[in-house]
């Protein structure tokens, strides 16, 4: 009899214990789901800047059947170009001379031997400068070299003018701050529209900074953009 009473009492305790455990588990699941309510937003920051470095290669070419005369022609053209650059305010430290490249067309086994000049020589004078406006103005005056008998190419497939922006680290902090602020504004609007409150950040990631020319005709103007992705908790 006493054994039955003990079993009965034990059963009652187990019953209420299981009920309590169920409530606890249920509440735990609800709280977990509440904590798991999140919204993922993206914030964009864009900035337009001027390139602060320009690289301009000037590729000279000459042809001749006399190798010695060809080298003299290239040397003469080199002196003409350097004089022209100095007269237009280009500093010597911004000028780099490349080596002379000479092609013997007769050495080409696939040549049909039908050519006016046997040798072709080329040489690149490279300008690396932080005076972007000055170099841009200079590029429009290079036709004067043709009048001096200098054969050259610029901004061709193998002599492209390149504009570079090197101060990205200086503007990164402000752009990241702007992207983060824009993301928060979007998340705040979402929370407001869904009758929720915006909580803490659960996870955040910053995209790569992208630097591209504004358009194909304005390589000296760069467009910089970055996107931040942030996940916020939501609460009622």
pTM for the structure as a whole: 0.76
Condensed to tens digits (0 to 9), the pLDDT of residues 203-228 reads: 999 899 999 999 988 999 999 999 99
| Integer Cα distance of 68 and 74 in angstroms | 10
Condensed to tens digits (0 to 9), the pLDDT of residues 68-91 reads: 999 999 999 999 999 999 999 999
Q: What is the pLDDT of residue 32?
A: 40
Kindly list the distances between the CA atom of residue 227 and the CA atoms of 71, 168, 213, in Å, as whole numbers in the listed order.
Answer: 54, 15, 18
pLDDT of 23 > 50? The answer is: no
Mean pLDDT of the chain: 86
Q: What is the pLDDT of residue 14?
A: 53
Compute the Cα dihedral for 133, 135, 136, 141 and give only its sign.
positive
pLDDT of 10 > 60? The answer is: no
Q: 26: pLDDT confidence band, cut at 50, 70 and 90?
A: very low
Instruction: Judge contact between 103 and 49, C-beta under 8 A.
Output: no
Cβ neighbours of 62 (radius 10 Å) = 24
């Amino acid at each position: 009899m006493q054994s039955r009473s003990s079993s009965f009492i034990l059963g009652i305790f187990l019953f209420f214990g299981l009920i309590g455990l169920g409530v606890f588990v249920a509440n735990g699941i609800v709280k977990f789901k509440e904590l798991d309510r999140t919204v993922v937003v993206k914030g964009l920051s864009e900035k337009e800047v001027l390139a602060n470095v320009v690289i301009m290669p000037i590729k000279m070419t000459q042809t001749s059947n006399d190798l010695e005369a060809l080298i003299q022609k290239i040397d003469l053209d080199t002196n003409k170009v350097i004089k022209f650059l100095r007269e237009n305010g280009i500093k010597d430290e911004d000028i780099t001379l490349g080596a002379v490249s000479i092609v013997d067309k007769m050495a080409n086994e696939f040549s049909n031997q039908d050519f006016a000049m046997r040798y072709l020589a080329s040489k690149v004078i490279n300008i690396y400068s932080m005076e972007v406006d000055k170099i841009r103005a200079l590029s429009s005056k290079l036709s004067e070299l043709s009048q001096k008998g200098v054969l050259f190419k610029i901004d061709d497939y193998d002599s492209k003018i390149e504009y570079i922006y090197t101060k990205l680290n200086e503007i990164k902090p402000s752009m990241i701050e702007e992207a983060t602020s824009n993301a928060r504004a979007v998340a705040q609007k979402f929370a407001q529209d869904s009758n929720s409150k915006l909580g803490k950040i659960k996870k955040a990631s910053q995209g790569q900074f992208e630097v591209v020319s504004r358009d194909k005709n304005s390589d000296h103007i760069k467009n910089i953009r970055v996107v931040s992705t942030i996940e916020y908790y939501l609460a009622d």
